[in-house]
Structure 1
Amino acid sequence: MQEILIHASKDHIEKVEIFKQLPEHILMKVVAHLRSEIFLPGDVIVSAGTPGNCMFFIYHGTVAVFTPQGREICHLEDGAHFGELALVFNETRVANVVAVTPCELFVSRRSDFLEAIAPFPDIKEHLISIATERLYQTQQETTE
């Protein structure tokens, strides 16, 4: 089962900006720690204002992203991801994410991610700069 998960999730992970700079062996460590979770329509996956400690890859399904005030920002589908800032920052979530259809998501925890990149401080520093820019953009989108 783990080999199937690794194969299925590796393509998704390689599309994420903060993972593009990771050497293959680190990327494989991240992939090896992913776990699959199922959500049904209407299930709240992420709530704004709650602590973020993981990111999600949509293997199958559709989710809706809302501002804390309830304004819909977008829908995300197969192959998309969200919550990547939680891998780098210990911040609260800035948006609500709700399953629109049955969804299978791969989840990556911050602790696993930080463990995988710990031996590479230069890579970690680069990822923090990318994530800082993304955090600023996300905050602008959710406060408009």
Structure 2
Amino acid sequence: MTQKSALFKNLPSPTIGNMMEVMKLEIFPPNDIIIKIGSEIGEVYFISSGAVAIMTSDGKELCHLADGEEFGTNCLFFQKRKYAVVGIETTEVFIIDKNQLIEFLHLYPDVINGFYRSIKQKLAKLKNLEECATTTSQFNF
């Protein structure tokens, strides 16, 4: 996972090791709802293996995320989950509390700024995908 994640590529090995010590590992079976829309936010998930789908409140699938990608990062900007996350296949994730993540990253301003920019770009992409899905569904007969 650490070799595949853009965030971890920019951090020193000791910091990554310290982060891995506080992360918890969870395995989700296919079709398991990992994150529900509207649930309280507090953790960031890093996919070690497997794949998930990002879903809207009306069940539209916006995109897939796989090995090395993260989700739940909107917790750094919002209080509630905007999208659901559902396992497509058996998915192994490492989970870290958002406050612990920020604590580790605060020593690396370039890394955290790049991570925030990446999150904002992903959120904008999801918003665009959601708008496209809504527009497309209005024209389906």
Q: TM-score, length-normalised on structure 1?
A: 0.69
Counterpart for residue 9 of structure 1: none
1:89 and 2:77 equivalent?
yes
1:51 and 2:40 equivalent?
yes
Counterpart for residue 54 of structure 2: 65
Deviation of 1:107 (Å) = 1.4
What RMSD in Å do the two structures reach over aligned CA positions? Answer: 2.7
Alpha-carbon distance in structure 1 between the residues aligned to 2:42 and 2:80: 9
Deviation of 1:31 (Å) = 2.0
Q: TM-score, length-normalised on structure 2?
A: 0.71
Task: Write out per-residue CA displacement over residues 18-57 of structure 1, whole angstroms, 9 at most, x where no aligned residue.
Answer: 3332233322222222211132343210122333322223
The counterpart of 2:25, out of the listed 28, 36, 57, is: 36
| Conservation of the 8 A alpha-carbon contact between 1:51 and 1:90 | no
Q: Work out which of the two has the higher radius of gyration on C-alpha atoms and give 1 or 2.
A: 2
SS class of match (1:107): strand
Q: Cα–Cα, structure 1 residues 126 and 75, in superposed 2: closer, same or farther, change >3 Å?
A: closer
Q: Which runs of 5+ in 1 are unaligned?
A: 1-11
Alpha-carbon distance in structure 2 between the residues aligned to 1:90 and 1:14: 28
Number of aligned residues: 132
The counterpart of 1:115, out of the listed 95, 99, 103, is: 103
SS class of match (2:125): helix
The residue correspondences of 1:127-142 to structure 2 (distance < 5 A) are: 127-142=115-130
